[in-house]
Chain A
Amino acid sequence: MNVPTTIIRPKKLFSMRDITELWAYKELIYFFTWKDLKVRYKQTFVGVLWAIVQPFMAMVVFSVFFGGLAKIPSDGVPYPIFVYTGLLFWQLFSDSLSEVSGSLIGNQSIITKVYFPRLIIPISTVVTKFVDFFISAIILAGMMVYYHITPSLQSIIVIPVLLIITAACAEGLGLFLAAINVKYRDVRYVLPYFIQLLIFLTPVIYPASIAGKWSKLLALNPMSGVINNARAALLGTAQVNWLQLGISVAGCVVLLLIGIYVFKKVERYFADVV
């Protein structure tokens, strides 16, 4: 008879068991995502629409002030669709980042009572944000029809890659911050502010081209490559820049590795300190 055997030992930092276990608990990712969506849409007045209202309002405000009044260039496409494409990816990143960074502290009541691979929580957080992304992407589709813009064929390959990079960046940086959050409890008050500022280091409301001699520095931000290439593929603002895409891939891999390493370190004593 095949009996599943568990051996409990002082914990090592990494082992193969982590990966097989994550797979065994995959259903829990579904349940946490399902709960997040259900609870959020029950609590807010407009429900599912909230996912659309948020980026839509931001797009309107930015279009009036930056596109209309400040006349910020938009690489030859109408400013509203230019900024909305940026916002779509930016929101996937920043929402995931802020929730992943609070995920250990926010779920301590579960973490101190039941065992499951701790990575399940931050993973399902990002999955939830993907649902929001696809809902708010409907507006983008509508805008493309309105402005008569046809996405290039490359999009079929490029966009999924960009989504994976975005998720990996948010997950990696988020795990790192989640671990810091556990140790230093004052960090979470600064984080939202810090995340808000990040938007200015990324070409969301302006095109990368206006950065001039700083544009090389800007390209080091993995989210830069994501948003530039998203616009290139979807709106035809430029050719897909493979070098920049490569930088983004390298950036997200580094972030993810650091994030997982720090998270794993804290995970070992997390239940003892909260």
Chain B
Amino acid sequence: METPIIEVKNIGKRYTIDHERGRYIALRDVFASIIRRPFAFMKTRAKRAVGLEKKEEFWALRDVNFSVQKGEVIGIIGRNGAGKSTLLKILSQITPPTEGEITLRGRVGSLLEVGTGFHPELTGRENIFLNGAILGMKRSEIARKFDDIVDFAGVGKFIDTPVKRYSSGMYVRLAFSVAAHMEPDILIVDEVLAVGDAEFQKKCLGKMQEVTRKEGRTILFVSHNMAAVDMLCKKTVWLEHGTVKRIGETKEIVEAYLSDRPSAEMVTTRRSDQIATKKEKGVPHFTDISVAPVGGGPIKSDSQLEIKLGYSSGSDKSIAEPQVSIIIFNEASQQRVLYMNSGISNKNLGDSLPAQGTITCQTGNIDLKAGSYTINVWLTSNNTNHDTIDDAFRFEVTTDMEKFDYKLPPTKDFTDHLIPYAFKNE
């Protein structure tokens, strides 16, 4: 077997909660605490120095091992918080690992975002050069590919117009086009394909497939979009809780991933340190979530849902001006399909909520086609967001097609909703 082009060995990344919580320390506060309580300040400092008091820490990644052969396209999947983006940041050298070693044999290009460094005042032409340089291209290389980049983006006429006058579609097309013309041996791509219109996304996927086949480029592709992973990648790495859960053929892994349910108890799907922090600080948070169809049984396309959210204010106080949002995503495509927000509803939660309790949201017919869906929930009070849980709950919808007078649409991802309709010639 050849030497692999990418070798990831025992990679681990540790964060201290201290860093996370104290993102914005003010020097003013540090001075104030020294003056007000000099002894307490010295004590914690001393304890820390001797190692008596440890900072809280957690491992975002631990013992991650895999290797990639030249020309392979590898998908990296996992739920939010599984460590995908941390791994990506380490591979792109944006943040160093705490332990372990990665060897990359070849020129590396990473694409965590399209249009990094784009400046609205500069023209399309100027931004192509600037962005290209930031992505690691040489000036001569950009000049050589300039016409191809403009052609691919289809912004020919506007190339000397400042990009602030571009439509968002044009902007994204230009940005992606620069990135698509990088020629590294190893390309690391984040969810960047989730931008732009569907047609352009297809064009980009096509371009990526073309280069891998023709030039034997190695691609690491991180995505939520199972359809895209399925289409592009032969092998897939499935991350969970900071470690590799499975590696293998994409088909198998994606199937296993989609049928792996997060436990019904939502508290276990989030980091327990987050809840502890919220409790300690007295910040309102969710404690429990359940989703069930009205009248019981399986959830069908014409079911009505009852979503129950247990919450606690984190103290004895009530929650002022509460607002709860619920967003439902199609799990495979990661498209938002439903959005409910108590703040824009006439049937809302009123001016305040007791310190503890359960909020219920009852929907009308969901009209969703068969498939898996995930729910994100948000809790806001006084216009401040206090708690967000991504993928808080996952549910399966089944469809009785007999209830509708038509067959399923020709393409699977044609629509998320199924509603009754009838055509007539009048």
**Interface set of A (CB-CB < 8 Å, partner B):** 3-11, 27-28, 31, 34-35, 38-39, 42-43, 109-116, 180, 183-187, 268-269, 271-274
B121–A271 contact, CB under 8 A?
no
Nearest CB of A to B196, in Å: 18
In the complex, 15 of the A-B residue pairs with CB atoms within 8 angstroms, ordered by the A residue number, are: A8-B91, A9-B102, A10-B99, A10-B100, A28-B133, A35-B119, A35-B122, A38-B121, A109-B116, A109-B117, A114-B134, A184-B25, A185-B25, A186-B28, A271-B94
Which residues of chain B come closer than 8 Å to A11, judged between CB atoms? 96
Residue of B25, B105, B129 touching A183 (CB-CB under 8 A): B25
Whole-angstrom distance between the alpha carbons of A268 and B89 in the complex?
13
B residues within 8 A CB of A6?
Answer: 93, 103-104, 108
Residue of B nearest to A267 (CB): B96
Verify B27–A31 contact, CB threshold 8 A.
no
Contact between chains at B119 and A113 (CB < 8 Å): no
Question: Which residues of chain A are near B126, meaning CB under 8 Å?
Answer: 35, 38
Residues of A within 8 A of B28 (CB): 186
Q: How far is the CA of A9 from the CA of B13 in the complex (A)?
A: 11
Q: B134 near A28 (CB under 8 angstroms)?
A: yes
| A250 vs B103: C-alpha distance when bound (angstroms) | 41
Please provide the 8 A-B residue pairs with the shortest distance between their CB atoms, ordered closest to farther: A184-B27, A11-B96, A115-B93, A8-B102, A31-B133, A186-B26, A6-B104, A271-B95
Give the nearest-CB partner of B138 in chain A. Answer: A27
**Residue on B nearest A6 in the bound complex, by CB:** B104
Contact A114 B139 (CB under 8 A): no
Interface of chain B residues 42 through 100 with chain A (CB within 8 A): 89-100
Question: CB of B312 within 8 A of chain A?
Answer: no
Return the CB mask of B388-416 against A: 1 if under 8 Å, else 0. Answer: 00000000000000000000000000000
Bound-complex Cα distance A112 to B88 (A): 11
Mark contacts of B260-273 with chain A using CB atoms, 8 A cut-off: 1 yes-contact digit, 0 otherwise. Answer: 00000000000000
Instruction: Given A109-B116, A114-B92, A114-B116, verify A4-B136 contact (CB < 8 Å).
Output: no
Least CB distance, B89 to chain A, in whole angstroms = 7
Q: Are A5 and B91 in contact (CB under 8 A)?
A: no
A97 vs B95: C-alpha distance when bound (angstroms): 26
B29 to chain A, nearest CB (A): 8
Tell me which of A38, A110, A273 contacts B122 (CB under 8 A): A38
- The answer, among B23, B90, B102, B116, for a CB contact under 8 Å with A273, is B23
B94 touches A8 (CB 8 A): no
A38 to B119: give the CA distance in the assembly, Å.
Answer: 10
Interface residues of B (CB under 8 A from A): 15, 19, 23-28, 30, 89-108, 110, 112-113, 116-117, 119, 121-122, 126, 129-130, 133-136, 138-139, 185
The answer to whether B119 touches A114 (Cβ under 8 A) is no
Q: Which residues of A contact B98 (CB under 8 A)?
A: 10
Contacts of A269 in B (CB 8 A): 19, 95
A5 CA to B104 CA, complexed, in Å: 6
Q: Do A113 and B93 have beta carbons less than 8 Å apart?
A: no
User: With A35-B130, A109-B116, A116-B136 in contact, do A3 and B25 touch (Cβ < 8 Å)?
Assistant: no
Closest-CB distance, B41 to chain A (whole angstroms): 16
Do B135 and A114 have beta carbons less than 8 Å apart? yes
User: A27 and B95 in contact (CB under 8 A), knowing A7-B103, A113-B113?
Assistant: no
Question: Once the chains are docked, how many angstroms separate the CA of A109 from the CA of B113?
Answer: 10
**Cross-interface CB contact of A114 among B96, B103, B117, cutoff 8 Å:** B117
Supposing A38-B122, A184-B30, A272-B15 touch, asked if A31 and B104 sit within 8 A by C-beta, the answer is no
A274 to chain B, nearest CB (A): 8
Known: A4-B107, A186-B26. A116 touches B134 (CB 8 A): yes
Which of B24, B106, B130 makes the CB contact (< 8 A) with A3? B106
Please give me the residue from chain A that is nearest to B132 by CB atom.
Answer: A31
Instruction: Collect the chain B residues with CB atoms within 8 Å of residue A8's CB.
Output: 90-91, 93, 96-97, 101-104
A25 → B minimal CB distance (Å): 8
Q: CB distance B19 to A31 under 8 Å?
A: no
A10 contacts across to B, CB distance below 8 A: 96-100
Contact A114 B110 (CB under 8 A): yes
A6 and B136 alpha carbons, distance in the complex (Å): 14
Smallest CB-CB separation from A8: which chain B residue?
Answer: B102
Tell me the complex Cα distance, A116–B185, Å.
17
CB nearest to A110 among chain B residues:
B117
> Which residues on the B side are within 8 Å of A274 (C-beta)?
23
> Are B134 and A31 in contact, with the CB atoms below 8 A?
yes
**Could you tell me if A114 and B25 are in contact, using CB atoms closer than 8 angstroms?**
no
Q: Which chain A residues lie closer than 8 Å to B15 at the CB level?
A: 272
B100 CB contacts on chain A under 8 angstroms = 9-10
Complex contacts, A268 vs chain B, CB 8 Å:
96
- Measured between beta carbons, the chain A residues less than 8 angstroms from B90 are 8
Contacts of B106 in A (CB 8 A): 3-5
Across-interface contacts of A38 in B (CB, < 8 A) = 121-122, 126
